Amino acid sequence: MDDMGVDTIKIRDNRYDGVLHMVTAADGAENFYAGLSNEARYESKEEAMDKDKKLRTAYMGHQRWFIIDNKCNDFNTKINCAKDRV
């Protein structure tokens, strides 16, 4: 990145018009997190939460960074919250 004259902050702030961070169900909606029993999931709840926190840290400085947490009653409500932010 140094050779290209860019840094992660410039990339984060200039590449994306906005960032929606949908928090993993493993953090706050554990009943909906199927864990290893779901074919689409390949990580434990702890691993999912660790990755989620790393992504949150990477993007949270963006001016249009929005977090969609798990306070919603169901996934459709969570999707609608994300749509509202867009």
**Range(s) of the domain holding residue 19:** 8-85
Does any domain span residue 53? Answer: yes
Q: Could you report the per-residue pLDDT of 17-72, keeping only the tens digit for each?
A: 999 999 998 998 888 787 556 777 778 889 999 999 999 999 999 999 999 999 98
The two tokens of residue 68 are: 């969609």
Contact 51, 25 (CB under 8 A): no
Does any domain span residue 32? Answer: yes
The two tokens of residue 86 are: 């867009």
Q: Domain total for the chain?
A: 1
State residue 46's pLDDT score: 92
State residue 83's pLDDT score: 95
Does any domain span residue 47? Answer: yes
Does any domain span residue 3? Answer: no
Full-model pTM: 0.80
- Pick the more confident residue, 39 or 3: 3
Residues 6+ apart with CB under 8 A from 86: 18, 20
Is the pLDDT confidence value at 1 over 90?
A: no
Does any domain span residue 1? Answer: no
Does any domain span residue 48? Answer: yes
d(CA 18, CA 11) in angstroms, rounded, equals 12
State residue 35's pLDDT score: 56
Does any domain span residue 67? Answer: yes
Does any domain span residue 2? Answer: no
